[in-house]
Amino acid sequence: MKKILLTLLAVVMVLALTLTVVACNPTEEEKPDDKNNLPIDQAISETSLKDIAKDKKLYLTSIGQSDIDVARNLLSAVGLVETTQEEAGDFETKDLLTASEVEEGAVVFVVVGASTKGLGGAGTDINKETTRANEFATAASEGKLTIISLHLGKQARRGDLSDGIIEIVEKASAVMLISDDGEGTGGNYDGLMGNIAKENNIPAYCYSKATGMVAPLKYLLGL
């Protein structure tokens, strides 16, 4: 009887050890649920967008004060030179650019997505940024300027702080370029931007890496 009990105890201990090992070493890591509903890493197909920014006055700003340096690097990568105090270039960058400051007929690259650190650093807040977003949207609807919206911060630039300004700006955009690799952590992880694009008939494209936007930007700029 004692021998049987010892055998049963050994079996139980082996089973417990096996379950512990399995629990600590899952065979497959769960991936976040992804609801991206936009094309990824595809060329812009709309011929009406070709050269839309060619030979136009160009501006770069961020509504939400996030990721403007990434956008600056992208524009430099396509061959554009930023205007400085010392020398005129191909595009002007201003964190708190307003629609009234933009030359009529110009193209504005607007980076959307909020950063609490960026807002504080620029001395602004989300209410003021929402006002800026609405002013740009109104100017675009009146044909005074063209917006090319860039969402570059993936899921980190989504949520209650960001989504309001994203919706305002993207609805007024000629085209939307979004950082999203389809792995559940991109800017369009929940399909919000895809829905905005579909409901407002706006071309929108996702790119798994920011550098994937270089070719589309060249297409828009006629380079």
Please spell the DSSP secondary structure of 162-182, one letter per residue: HHHHHHHHHHT-SEEEEE--S
Enumerate residues 6+ apart whose C-beta is below 8 A from 157.
64, 66, 67, 112, 113, 114, 115, 151, 187
Give the C-alpha separation, 125 to 163, whole Å.
15
Give the C-alpha separation, 51 to 60, whole Å.
17
Percent of the chain with pLDDT over 70: 85
How many residues are recorded in the chain?
Answer: 223
Give, in degrees to the nearest 5, the angle at Cα 178 between 173 and 180: 160
Radius of gyration of the chain (CA): 24
Cβ atoms within 10 Å of 46's Cβ, excluding its own: 12
Tokens of 111: 């980076």
- Domain parsing of the chain, residue ranges: 36-221
Do residues 46 and 95 lie in contact, with contact meaning Cβ atoms separated by under 8 Å?
no
What is the tens place of the pLDDT at every residue in 78-109?
A: 999 999 988 999 999 999 999 999 999 999 99
Is 206 in a helix, a strand, or coil? strand
Do residues 150 and 71 lie in contact, with contact meaning Cβ atoms separated by under 8 Å?
yes
Do residues 40 and 180 lie in contact, with contact meaning Cβ atoms separated by under 8 Å?
yes
CATH architecture, domain defined by 36-221: 3-Layer(aba) Sandwich (3.40)
Do residues 91 and 79 lie in contact, with contact meaning Cβ atoms separated by under 8 Å?
no
- The predicted model scores a pTM of 0.84
Write out the chain's pLDDT in tens, 223 residues. Answer: 444 444 444 444 434 434 343 333 444 444 556 788 898 999 999 999 999 999 999 999 999 999 999 999 999 999 999 999 889 999 999 999 999 999 999 999 999 999 999 999 999 999 999 999 999 999 999 999 999 999 998 888 888 999 999 999 999 999 999 999 888 889 899 999 999 999 999 999 999 998 999 999 999 999 9
- Residue 54: is it exposed, middle or buried by C-beta count within 10 angstroms (0-12/13-18/19+)? exposed
